[in-house]
Chain A
């Protein structure tokens, strides 16, 4: 099956930039997403990128996509303590008619003062 991998943990200081990386195997990926999950809660969609784009910026968030290497990253500028959470990348491709979201393993971001 399709596979999405992320590093498990990232720690940054408040005010620094955070970069969370994700790699995937599905060459038919159409959309790639970043979700945020706070403790004990569901998922919140942060941003997404279509596979024919290589960059998308949304306020403090910058998504970079290298389709050749199947590598996706999320950069959070001026990271705040409220950004501490688990971040999941996810992708949809042709599997399941584009309906099926395959999630990465999640990266826990810890923001220290």
Chain B
């Protein structure tokens, strides 16, 4: 079946640095990708929706300049957490779909900011 891969799966960084998380669709063309954030023991909160070749659509309350999303190709979207702080520590999950097809989720990336 289709696979969505995230990298890195776990990253620890110092406060003030920027971290990039990649989301790749391995055997289909992901026309739409979604980025979610999950706090411990909580649900997934949609951060943004990105369509290949266009700007991401951010959910209310999500800072565009803080969470930079790039969907430059049909198989890759990146989320960059700029100037990360401890409150940005979370589990970030991407999902992807081709057209109106099934939505596939990545395994998630755990970010810890010291």
- Residues of A at the B interface (CB closer than 8 Å) are 4, 35, 40-45, 88, 96, 99-106
| B107 part of interface (Cβ distance < 8 Å) | yes
Contact partners of A99 in chain B: CB under 8 A: 32, 34, 49
B43 touching A45 by the CB < 8 A rule? no
Whole-angstrom distance from the CB of A49 to the nearest CB of chain B? 14
Contact partners of B34 in chain A: CB under 8 A: 99, 101
B44 touching A103 by the CB < 8 A rule? yes
Identify which of B14-22, B63-71, B72-80, B98-106 touches chain A: B98-106
| B54 part of interface (Cβ distance < 8 Å) | no
How many inter-chain residue pairs (CB < 8 Å) link A and B? 44
A102–B107 alpha-carbon span in the complex (Å):
19
Chain B: interface size category: 20 to 34
Contact partners of A41 in chain B: CB under 8 A: 107-108
Contact status of A44 and B105, CB under 8 A, knowing A96-B49, A99-B49, A100-B49? yes
A104 touching B43 by the CB < 8 A rule? yes
Whole-angstrom distance from the CB of B5 to the nearest CB of chain A? 10
Residues 88-113 of B, flagged 1 when their CB comes within 8 A of A and 0 if not, give 00000101000000111111101000
Pick the contact of A100 from B46, B93, B105 — CB < 8 Å?
B46
Contact partners of B45 in chain A: CB under 8 A: 103
| Chain A residue nearest to B102 in the complex (CB) | A45
